[in-house]
């Protein structure tokens, strides 16, 4: 049986109050795609009716049951061409509850549906949050999952579907407020090693400019086909074998997951006022917060601890001269990458003594990676060193295959309160696991410091869009339109300080950066390092207005508060992959 199938994303501008016209146009575009050989055709969110409804009364004439007249028409087309079609529409159930729904229709009729679980700002005026969570539908052309627009902001949704075996996530949307293909779309394909077929609407509706950019994204994050603007059919191919490999940057990430470390994903720490929650009973209250400069330093560590410490000192002095309060250095920055087992250091020990002296001299917080020796056990570790001489240690919890020959995986997370804010530590490959960043966000972290030695491609450019966007949304060329670690920051509403090794000859691209807590804030609150040894520095603000409630997104964490942890049980189940 072939594992390669032709697929299509339909891009379309529906018109409100003209349901018959919208359905006729969608059927025409789906017919075109099917005639071209597409076996899976994906159409936009609310494509049958338009999107920007004021309330239940206004949308009421246009909702339908499923199955119903509209699904019957698409089922006839699917039967005619032996294909599968995803249709977005407003649904009404037997109890007169409305949902924003995606329905998968095949040659034999309705296969399944997904009701949008995370309604966007306008939808609670008419729609209930969906109650059909994280399903994967087995078909002759692969395992298909459905998500709708805002759902994909939440790492748990796509992760659960990928854990359920999804080869392809059909993401239907009315995406806005940035140029597309959106970084979130790309990261969900990339981190889960599966395809994302994106069908987005375009055009202007009730003052809202939608972004177009329908596309097909491969399991490695490559956008393999894209339609920027206008009605049309975008054709491409998917290979089920590529999805079923479940690899990220060459690593078998699903086999490397640590479900025993993820139980906190089922909690909802931001469901209460976090300024009260994190000070409850006087235990571990949040730092007051301040405005700081945070730097990331990238260089190529060698198998010479003294030379590496000298490089660290030089970059730290430069960062301090530029106003930095905290500097993050790469993974294994102290001990080198070549054969870490040869250069391991105890903590505390001579190497960390020198880091303590440097931190005290400069009045600077330092985060450095090193190979740690603790008795007979070796770890890939990072230490946070304060100007007062305190050392906090984190041991990498998600090891790449090559590290398993010398390192033992860590057994837990490290969170440190500083004047800069609450800081969580990750190391390199840990950031490939959305669960890791989410746990630290749930613990109230303002910033994640991530020393890294990541090879390969985790960023891509954008040539620009013809879709006109309101200022200050950029539309032109962007060399770093998608950066996976920027997504990590935004999805958790925290700052992410990513310090990567830069050594192009050995495959390390650098691309270190400090990324802000809101990916839809333009101009972006971030700094990305240029090629070669050097620094990137950005302003990190963890302050709050004089209010008992959080007024800063990094403390309020809107996306974290909107999670639905009651449906996340599958994230902590131990499975074999």
Q: How far apart are CA 384 and CA 393, in angstroms?
A: 7
SS3 of residue 410 by DSSP: coil
298-351: pLDDT as tens digits:
999 999 999 999 999 999 999 999 999 999 999 999 999 999 999 999 999 999
Residue 12: both structure tokens together: 């379309």
Rounded to a whole number, what is the distance in angstroms from the first to the last CA of the chain?
22
- Rounded to the nearest 10°, the torsion over CA 501, 393, 293, 283 is 150
Does the pLDDT of residue 576 top 80, yes or no? no
Task: Return mean pLDDT, the chain.
Answer: 97
E strand or H helix that includes residue 517: none
74-89: pLDDT as tens digits:
999 999 999 999 999 9
What's residue 157's pLDDT? 98
| pTM as predicted | 0.98
Task: Report the catalytic residues.
Answer: 45, 116, 149
Looking at 398-507, which runs of residues are DSSP E strands? Answer: 415-418, 421-425, 447-452, 459-462, 478-483, 495-500, 502-503
Sheet containing 391-395: give its strands across. 391-395, 377-385, 365-374, 326-328, 291-298, 534-541
The residue among 522, 413, 547 whose CA lies nearest residue 469 is 522
Give 297's strand partners: 535
Confidence of residue 457 (pLDDT cuts 50, 70, 90): very high
Q: Which residue has the tokens 């200050």?
A: 472
513-528: pLDDT as tens digits:
999 999 999 999 999 9
Provide, rounded to the nearest whole percent, the portion of the chain with pLDDT above 70: 99
Residue 152: both structure tokens together: 């994909």
Q: How far apart are CA 409 and CA 422, in angstroms?
A: 24
Angle in degrees, 0-180, between the axes of helices 183-192 and 155-163, rounded to the nearest 10 = 30
E strand or H helix that includes residue 371: strand 365-374
Q: How far apart are CA 16 and CA 268, in angstroms?
A: 37
Give 208's strand partners: 205
Angle in degrees, 0-180, between the axes of helices 434-442 and 484-492, rounded to the nearest 10 = 30
DSSP labels for 239-267? EHHHHHT--BTTB-HHHH--GGG-GGGG-
**How large is the average pLDDT for residues 7-22?**
98
**How large is the average pLDDT for residues 291-303?**
98
Q: Return the ∠ at Cα 67 (arms to 66 and 73), rounded to 5°.
A: 115
Radius of gyration of the chain (CA): 24
């Amino acid at each position: 049986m072939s594992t390669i199938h032709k697929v299509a994303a339909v891009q379309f501008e529906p018109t409100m109050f003209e349901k018959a016209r919208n359905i006729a146009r969608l059927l025409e575009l789906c017919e075109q795609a099917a005639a071209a050989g597409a076996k899976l055709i994906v159409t936009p969110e609310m494509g049958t009716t338009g999107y920007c409804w004021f309330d239940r009364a206004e949308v009421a004439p246009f909702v339908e049951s499923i199955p119903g007249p509209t699904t019957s028409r698409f089922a006839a087309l699917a039967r005619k061409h032996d294909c599968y079609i995803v249709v977005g529409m407003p649904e009404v159930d037997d109890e007169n509850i409305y949902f924003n729904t995606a329905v998968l229709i095949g040659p034999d009729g309705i296969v399944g549906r997904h009701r949008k679980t995370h309604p966007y700002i306008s939808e609670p005026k008419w729609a209930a949050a969906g109650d059909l969570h994280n399903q994967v539908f087995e078909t002759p052309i692969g395992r298909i999952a459905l998500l709708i627009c805002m759902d994909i902001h939440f790492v748990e949704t796509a992760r659960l579907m990928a854990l359920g075996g999804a080869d392809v996530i059909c993401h239907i949307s009315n995406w806005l407020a940035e140029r597309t293909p959106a970084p979130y779309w790309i990261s969900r394909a990339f981190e889960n090693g599966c395809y994302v077929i994106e069908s987005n609407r375009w055009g202007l509706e009730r003052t809202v400019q939608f972004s177009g950019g329908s596309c097909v994204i491969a399991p490695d994050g490559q956008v393999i086909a894209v339609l920027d603007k206008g009605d049309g059919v975008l054709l491409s191919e998917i290979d089920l074998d590529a999805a079923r490999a479940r690899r990220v940057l060459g690593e078998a990430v699903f086999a490397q997951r640590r479900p025993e470390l993820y139980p906190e994903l089922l909690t909802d720490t931001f469901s209460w006022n976090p300024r009260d929650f994190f000070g409850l009973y006087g235990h571990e209250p949040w730092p007051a917060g301040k405005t700081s400069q945070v730097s990331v330093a990238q260089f190529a560590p060698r198998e010479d601890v003294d030379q590496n410490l000298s490089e660290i000192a030089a970059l730290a002095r430069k960062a301090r001269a530029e106003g930095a309060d905290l500097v993050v250095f790469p993974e294994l920055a102290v001990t080198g990458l070549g054969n870490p087992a040869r250069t391991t250091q105890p903590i505390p020990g001579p190497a960390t003594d020198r880091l303590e002296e440097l931190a005290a001299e400069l009045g600077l917080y330092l985060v450095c990676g090193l190979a740690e020796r603790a008795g007979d056990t070796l770890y890939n570790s990072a230490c946070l060193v304060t100007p007062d001489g305190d050392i906090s240690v984190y041991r990498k919890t998600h090891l790449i295959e090559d590290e398993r020959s010398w390192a033992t995986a860590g057994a837990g997370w490290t969170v440190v309160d500083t004047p800069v804010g609450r800081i969580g530590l990750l190391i390199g490959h840990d950031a490939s696991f959305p669960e890791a960043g989410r746990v630290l966000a749930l613990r109230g972290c303002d910033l994640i410091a991530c020393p890294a030695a990541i090879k390969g491609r985790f960023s891509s450019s954008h040539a620009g869009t013809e879709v006109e966007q309101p200022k200050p949304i950029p539309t032109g060329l962007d060399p770093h339109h998608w950066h996976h670690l920027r997504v990590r920051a935004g999805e958790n509403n925290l700052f992410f300080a990513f310090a990567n090794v830069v050594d192009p000859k050995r495959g390390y691209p650098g691309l270190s950066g400090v990324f802000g807590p809101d990916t839809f804030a333009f101009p972006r609150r971030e700094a990305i390092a240029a090629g070669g040894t050097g620094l990137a520095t950005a302003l990190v603000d963890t302050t709050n207005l004089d209010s008992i409630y959080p007024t800063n997104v990094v403390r309020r964490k809107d996306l974290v508060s909107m999670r639905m942890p009651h449906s996340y049980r599958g994230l902590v189940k131990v499975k074999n992959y």
